[in-house]
Amino acid sequence: MAEWRAAYEQQLQAERDLAAARGEPYAQVIDIDPRWDAGAPLPHLLSNGSRAFVVCRADQPDPDWDGTYATVVSPADPHPSLLVVLELRGCREIRSAGQTTRR
């Protein structure tokens, strides 16, 4: 499995390199820190056509969490929380996962 994953990652990188060389759009993986909350990120996307911002809740691990309960959060929660803000410059197009474009 590790060999397959490495080969797949190499293929994806080769496809990105080719698209960049041709001046075509391509997706780039962004490794961010701090991480967003996987359970309830509540993401918001703002874009003006050339810049985009993604705002979501930051992951705040509970050192006492034993896996037996879940914390429910809401945008209306009165308690403050840390946010992650990603700024993407030169963003020409935004698509959701699995979205296709017809030409």
Q: What is the pTM of this model?
A: 0.54
pLDDT in tens, 46-72: 888 788 898 888 888 888 888 888 777
> What is the tens place of the pLDDT at every residue in 14-46?
999 999 999 988 887 777 777 777 766 778 888
Rg of the chain over all Cα atoms, to the nearest angstrom? 18
Quick one: pLDDT band at residue 98, thresholds 50, 70, 90?
Answer: low
Q: Which of 73, 44, 76, 48 is nearest to 59 (CA)?
A: 73
For β-strands 44-47 and 51-57, DSSP reports them as antiparallel
Task: Report CA 14 to chain centroid distance, whole Å.
Answer: 21
Confidence class for position 78, pLDDT limits 50, 70, 90: confident
Q: Which pLDDT score is estimated for 102?
A: 46
- Cα separation of 17 and 22, whole Å? 9
CA distance 4 to 8: 6
